[in-house]
Structure 1
Amino acid sequence: MDMFFAYMFVASATPLFLWLEHRKIAISSIPFILIMWLLAIAFLFEGFLFHITESTFVVAVLVNVVIAHIAAFILYASPLLMSKTKQLTGTSE
């Protein structure tokens, strides 16, 4: 369970990294993060809020981890690949 919460914190920080360059992606990831945290709270306090299965919580965390990895690719790998492609083709801006 500790790993889920570690991934949840990383996924929750994703919009912060995307905010300056990719605001639309950052804003679109916020609802998924809210759903993930609401499912986590519902899972922890199962009897109080509503009945939720562990698999629903795991799926929500995995969706947000995938979104965080896509964001990391957009931020870090995509510019590097674009510069390598420009070097290979000999074009410059």
Structure 2
Amino acid sequence: MGIFFFYMFVASATPLFLWLEHHKIAVASIPGIFLMWILGSIYIISPSIWIEATFIVTFAVNVMLAHYAAIVLYGMPLFKQKRLLRNSKRLV
């Protein structure tokens, strides 16, 4: 559960990184983060297989969203830069 708890903090910070450039993705991730924290808290208080399964699903969705955010923020500018360099060599 420690890994889940650590990554819950990382996933909770994802909207902060996205706020300026991709406001819609940041706003879309907020309800999932609240749900993840609520289900995690309920599971800690009274463990149940259904709460755990629902928590893991919301956790996985938030992990995928955080990775998508990392690709959008850090990968896309790199891909665009490489594409521009490749296209400029073709013109010469």
- TM-score > 0.5, shorter chain as reference: yes
Asked whether the equivalents of residues 42 and 51 of structure 2 are also in contact (C-alpha less than 8 Å), the reply is no
- Equivalent residue, structure 1, for 2:86: 88
Asked whether the equivalents of residues 46 and 52 of structure 1 are also in contact (C-alpha less than 8 Å), the reply is no
Instruction: Extract unaligned runs of 5+ from structure 1.
Output: none
Matches within 5 A, 1:1-93: 1-46=1-46, 52-90=50-88
Q: Distance in 2 between matches of 1:46 and 1:90?
A: 60
Give the counterpart letter for 1:13 in structure 2.
A
Per the normalisation by structure 1, the TM-score is 0.88
Per the normalisation by structure 2, the TM-score is 0.88
More helix by share: 2
Asked whether the equivalents of residues 36 and 61 of structure 1 are also in contact (C-alpha less than 8 Å), the reply is yes
Identity %: 51
Runs of 4+ in 1 over 4 A off after TM superposition: none
Report the count of equivalent residues.
Answer: 89
Task: Provide the secondary structure at the position in 1 that maps to 2:27.
Answer: helix
* CA drift at 1:81: 0.2
Q: Distance in 1 between matches of 2:57 and 2:49?
A: 16
- Let me know the Cα RMSD of the aligned residues: 1.9
Instruction: Extract unaligned runs of 5+ from structure 2.
Output: none
Give the counterpart letter for 2:41 in structure 1.
I
